[in-house]
Structures are given as C-alpha cells and as structure tokens.
Amino acid sequence: MWRAWTTLVGNPTFWTDFGITFWRIAVGFAFSLVIGTVLGIALGASRLLGEILEPVLVVINTVSSSIWAIFALIWFGLTNWSTIFVVFMTAMPLILTNVWQGTRTVNTDFIQLAQTFRMTRVQVLVKIYLPTILPLLFAGSRLAFGFGARVSIVAETLGASSGIGYRLRQAADLVQTDQVFAWTLTLVVLMIALEAVILKPLERRLFAWRERSTN
C-alpha cells in the first residue's frame, strides 16, 4: 500500500484531484459557517422563530448525505455545486445547532446590564454573545468540517468527473484495491494534518484567554 501511495502522490493528476476535492469542501464549509452562524443567532434571538424552524432542522438532520447527493445530482448535475451542496446540507445544521445552543447559555444579567449602559445591538453581540458562543461554534465547526469532508467523498463517488471520490470509484470499478487503500490513506493524512496544523493551533489561539483567566 505504501508503494501504491507514493506512486499515487507522484502522479501529476493526484494534486489536481486533491485540490478540487479540498476546494469543494472549503466552499461548502464556508457557506455552512456563515449561514449556520447567522441562523443560529437569529433563532436564539427570537423564540417564535426557533419554535417554527426547530421541526425543519430536525427533518434536515434526519436526511442522510446519500439522499442529499441524489438531490444534488438532479438539481446541479455533474458540477462542483453538487458536492458543495452536500457538504453544506451536512455541515450547516451542526453549526446552526451549536450556535443556537450557545445563545441559550448567554447570561441574561449581562444583557440587562448592557441595556442599562445603552450598548448597541452590535456591541452586545460582540462583547456578550460572541465570547459565549465562540467555544460551541468552534466545536461545532470542527465536527461539521469532518462530516463535510467525509460526505464530499460520498457525493463525488455518486456523481462527479473529478476529485478524490471519483478516483476512488474508478479504482473500485477496476478492482484496484491498492489504489483504493492509497486514496483512503490520503484522506486520513489530510484530516490528521488539518487537525494538527490548523485546528489545534487555532483553538489554542482563540481560547488562550480562558487559560489565562483560570491561572
């Protein structure tokens, strides 16, 4: 398998497929992060809106990524947007739910104090809501990114003409077991690298204030 993986990495098309898959994941996750955060805050700010949309969120969470992939193929065809859509529909509810739960843990005394000092809504959001929501947002985002990366492979396997998932399906159709293991190893290395190089350092930097406050 190691020999197959080194041969795979040495192939010029490897980096093209790798880059395409990573780009699809990144775009889908970016949409999820923005829309999920905004909707989560909106649901937290309006109890009525939360009661209306909570059943919809439950339905979305029960639909599997394979079904979203089928819908994506019907709506977008064999385009980048099919995979992006599947990543979005998988990751967005996780981020939205975490942010929504985060808004419920905001101390109401702080909000009343902010209103006493006539702080604007933006100031309340930045100084009170954001520090409370951020840990849950980051935790949800890490989980959402991992799920999004996995379902992107499912989407590419079902319907794509490029990317890691497409190459996996191609190798499986040709019964190239060593290639299947090599691409799988690539995914494992990618997730470990993202965790160690980007997510862990970012978490330490974002929440360094919590460590200082406990000392």
Domain residue ranges of the chain, discontinuous segments joined by +: 14-169
Residue 140 to residue 135: CA distance in whole angstroms: 9
- Single pTM value for the model: 0.79
For residue 147, what are its two tokens?
């799920």
**Mean pLDDT value across residues 14-26:** 84
Arithmetic mean of pLDDT over the chain: 78
* DSSP per position, 46-92: -HHHHHHHHHHHHHHHHS-HHHHHHHHHHHH-SSHHHHHHHHHHHHH
- The predicted-structure confidence for 1-15, as pLDDT tens digits, reads as follows 566 667 767 777 777
Q: Is the pLDDT of residue 215 over 60?
A: no
Look at residue 31 in the predicted model and tell me its pLDDT: 93
Q: What is the pLDDT of residue 5?
A: 66
Q: Can you give the pLDDT at residue 2?
A: 65
Model pLDDT, residue 160: 73
Mean pLDDT of 58-71: 80
pLDDT above 70 coverage of the chain, percent:
89
- What number does CATH give the domain 14-169? 1.10.3720.10
State mean pLDDT over 140-146: 81
